[in-house]
Chains A and B, each alone.
Chain A
Amino acid sequence: MKRDNNHLQPNPDPSSSSSLGGGSSAGKAKLWVEEATQQDCGMDELLAVLGYKVKTSDMAEVAQKLEQLEEVMCNVQDDGISHLASETVHFNPSDLSTWLQSMLSEFNPPSSFDPFGADGTATATALDDSFLCGPAESSTLSTLDFENNNRQHQKSGQQIFEEASCSDYDLKAIPGKAIYSQNTQTQPPTHDSSSSSTHNIVKPEKRLKSSSGSHSDIFPPPPPPAGAASYGIPSDSIRPVVLVDSQENGIRLVHALMACAEAVQQNNLNLAEALVKQIGFLAISQAGAMRKVATYFAEALARRIYRLYPQNPLDHSLSDVLHMHFYETCPYLKFAHFTANQAILEAFEGKKRVHVIDFSMNQGMQWPALMQALALRPGGPPAFRLTGIGPPSHDNSDHLQEVGWKLAQLAETIHVEFEYRGFVANSLADLDASMLDLRPTEVEAVAVNSVFELHKLLARPGAIDKVFSVVEQMRPEIVTIVEQEANHNGPVFLDRFTEALHYYSTLFDSLEGSASGQDKVMSEVYLGKQICNVVACEGVDRVERHESLTQWRNRFTSAGFSPVLLGSNAFKQASMLLALFAGGDGYGVEENNGCLMLGWHNRPLITTSAWKPANNTSPTSTITY
């Protein structure tokens, strides 16, 4: 077992510096004792604090890789380096060892590789061998096929200049509305007799029998769902807050809201009622985002106090309209679709038949862009099957079917073989894999997609676990998840209220600078409904149970999934997408251990992550959390 002793060497005598004051030697001694007791198999704690995950036992090897890269970069011309910066896709810079390795591989392409990406077969001994070899023997590096390096290997194995073709893959920002054809004919598309097969199938919508939800007593705070208890909400959770300068942040208003929420928490309804009225008065004199946020929170508090619970679920056509406006006005949904599609596109590389199962079908706005990107794929598009899942509509309209028809029309114009089926379900937990007509993995690759849907499952005990197991049965190449980056599912009402107040204040603030008029109002109403649900509802009706990335990571890894990393290309294009939005300066993308977060003024608001069932892959040594 290699043990690195360098960091235990005492530093050169500091007393040689003439102008020093007295140092604290006690502190120094204590620190070095701590270092001496560090476990070899553990992470270097000091680097971990700074955001880098390097095992103490790997430190010397990581240093070796840095030296090798330095050497190589000195010898290679400028082209080589600029290629690393502009063409190469980087992943998870926190995992230093893997990141450095992937760059070294760029300069030493493996002599043979499997383009269909065999799973990682690295062993500890292979790692040691490479450490001993100098750059000249770099062909041994080709055997270091970590799972998350697979895609990088595929890319680096090609000629360096072929990298440019990656940009054809990458999705461009395409506004949702423009894609739909104006033609509203409802007859099924005729077969195209031209050479490319455009054989579109839109199957009749299946309606699932849903388990009926009972209305339990809503008011007292319910115990957390069984699933949550087993995963545990971390006690050291992070609570980011961004304030806007004092003038705008309505501190008196916030005081009143907090006091009211506290009264509700303590079941002091008379006081709560008095305070809610006060909030109304204060809100009128407040400007900007804070006024609107306060109004929605006050309304939600009033509903809770007076037990006037909002109708659940919403009238479908209204919620569609709100959703559409939210999509257009601000970048959140577009970011979600864009980053998820990027991951799906990469997962589908080389596959001839693909199947996307969308848990969040709505109006299908995510799919035109993916279909177009698939159509432009070098080598031609795969056959594309889409299964859209959504809640039932009250007016008995076949809204999922309509969406399917529209997408079929698009598919025809871009010559992508298309198949569609819609499923209506009250809850994702009503799904079983057997209903989906899944084909063997060798024949058809599956992606599961969920945008702002998964958290709703946390309202019923066992639902999330059922869905995880069904997803595993689908044997997906990738599972893309987008969720709100917040913990609105804590057991204590007041904590949830506080979190939500910070969160939605930031969200509303971001809307202020963007579109004006009706679009903005609609978006605010859309968000207002979420606020109402978080604050006024309980039990199975409280579906807006947002949880943070840390919490979702725990759930996914406990359920047997391993992360699929999102890289620098998705990051860059998401950043560029954001720049298109008016008032977009405050938006920023952040990379977090392979996930991408969209934030407003450094406060993360939504997170895209990607997963894959871990059962068929050998565990990698480099991904640890």
Chain B
Amino acid sequence: MAGSNEINLNECKMMVPLNTWVLISNFKLAYNLLRRPDGTFNRHLAEFLDRRVPANVNPVGGVFSFDVLIDRGTGLLVRIYRPATGEEPQLNIVDLEKPVTAEVVPVIIFFHGGSFAHSSANSTIYDNLCRILVGTCKAVVVSVNYRRAPENRYPCAYDDGWAALKWVNSRSWLQSQKDSKVHIYLAGDSSGGNIAHHVALQAVESGIDILGNVLLNPMFGGQERTESEKRLDGKYFVTLRDRDWYWRAFLPEGEDRDHPACNPFGPNGRSLEGIKFPKSLVVVAGLDLIQDWQLAYVEGLKKAGQEVKLLYMEQATIGFYLLPNNNHFHVVMDEISKFVGSDC
């Protein structure tokens, strides 16, 4: 066992820059400490270890941020990132919700990853990513601090996503000048991608227009063990065992991985045929063990006649988008900006 582990580590190290390897291995190590075999989670240690940043109304790199408590009952916070217009060095509280001025301003509602259990909107890795999205897409980004498993199982995260969507949709200061509507995109990585899909579904049913979904290494699964899961188990930071743990922590007790939250096009899924689902950009990392499920998701959308673009990054591992030190990162950011900028 030790021997094959060594091979895994060396191979893995060759595929990513060393600092990326250190970053993701560190997460893997920390996460191993946090998951208990009985399905409980060491939340205190998780909060202690997670690196965080406060919001900052002082523009940094042309972006400023502030938090808004949108639901006191559930304690639902969102962090809003806006491009600084450059006029004022010091922003006042009255300027924070100043109306957007451009003809078209994309508003990206972002759901951070963490397999439903880890991270927060103010985790440094996600604060950083959201700031990059503002610059790349010339967008306002709203990062949702949704409730996490195992303390809050399905459907809490989706409910929080839905609450955030309704809130964003009703902000007059986020309306584009062109049509006095909020131009909304949903985006997320890992569990956040999964949440984006389900929130989009709810939006369709409720008549809120979503212009597009951006799913980065979205977290899907199923009861069956796919070929990619067997082939890549434990090879690139992620094991089947930990995937199983997170699904058990998120899904309702007693449910298996064919629950539609996990497997939207599986035996218990619903057909999206004939419904006005937003166009999707789905990014799949070639070294991600759950890629077969992600590819099946793309197929499911296509079969239902939905517009979807697949970006298959053959040599990418999970988390490649956390650091800008690889080509996949730049390619993907480019594609996202084109995707989001395509309705003007």
Contact = CB atoms under 8 A, between A and B. Distances in A.
A287 interface: no
Contacts of B311: 17, 19-21
Interface residues of B, number: 79
Interface in A221-274: 236-246, 251, 254-255, 258
6 contacts: A14-B328, A17-B312, A46-B19, A51-B53, A90-B49, A251-B93
- Central interface residue in B25, B54, B92, B286, by most chain A CB within 10 Å: B54
Contacts of A398: none
Contacts of B47: 571, 575, 588-590
A51 B26 contact: no
Interface in B264-317: 286, 309-315
Contacts of A69: 29
Interface residues of A, number: 86
Given A242-B67, A498-B92, A21 B335 contact: yes
Interface of B: 1-2, 5, 9, 13, 15, 17-23, 25-26, 29-30, 32-34, 36-37, 42, 44-45, 47-49, 51-58, 60, 66-72, 75, 77, 79, 90, 92-94, 96-97, 122, 124-125, 128, 145, 167, 286, 309-315, 322-328, 330-331, 334-335, 338
A6 B334 contact: no
A207 interface: no
A70 B7 CA distance: 13
Contacts of A81: 32-33
Contact of B13 (A35, A63, A591): A63
A243 B48 contact: no
Interface string A66-84: 1101110111001001101
Contacts of A16: 314-315
Nearest to A513: B72
Nearest to B33: A85
Interface of A: 4, 6-7, 9, 11-12, 14, 16-24, 27-28, 31, 35, 44, 46-47, 49-52, 54, 59-60, 62-63, 66-67, 69-71, 73-75, 78, 81-82, 84-86, 90, 93-94, 96, 100, 236-246, 251, 254-255, 258, 495, 498, 501-502, 568, 571-572, 575-576, 585-586, 588-591, 599, 601-604
Main secondary structure of the interface of B (DSSP, over half): mixed
B18 A4 contact: yes
Nearest to B334: A24
B92 A258 contact: yes
A604 B55 CA distance: 10
Contacts of B29: 66, 69-70, 73, 100
A590 B52 contact: yes
B69 A27 contact: no
Given A74-B5, A242-B55, A18 B94 contact: no
B315 A14 contact: yes
Contacts of A24: 330-331, 334
Contacts of B42: 85-86
Given A238-B56, A242-B66, A243-B68, 11 more contacts: A11-B327, A16-B315, A21-B334, A70-B5, A74-B2, A93-B48, A243-B69, A258-B93, A568-B48, A601-B67, A602-B77
B180 to A, nearest CB: 18
Contact of A17 (B34, B77, B125, B286): B286
Contacts of B21: 63
Nearest to B322: A50
B69 A7 contact: no
Nearest to A56: B19
B51 A59 contact: no
A62 B313 contact: no
Contacts of B19: 7, 44, 46-47, 54, 59
A243 B97 CA distance: 10
- Central interface residue in B92, B309, B312, by most chain A CB within 10 Å: B92
A238 B55 CA distance: 8
A105 to B, nearest CB: 15
B330 A27 contact: yes
A27 B51 CA distance: 28
Contacts of A85: 33-34, 36, 42, 45
A96 B1 CA distance: 27
Contact of B67 (A27, A70, A240): A240
Contacts of A255: 94
Contact of A71 (B5, B57, B72, B145): B5
A466 B245 CA distance: 57
Given A16-B314, A572-B48, A239 B58 contact: yes
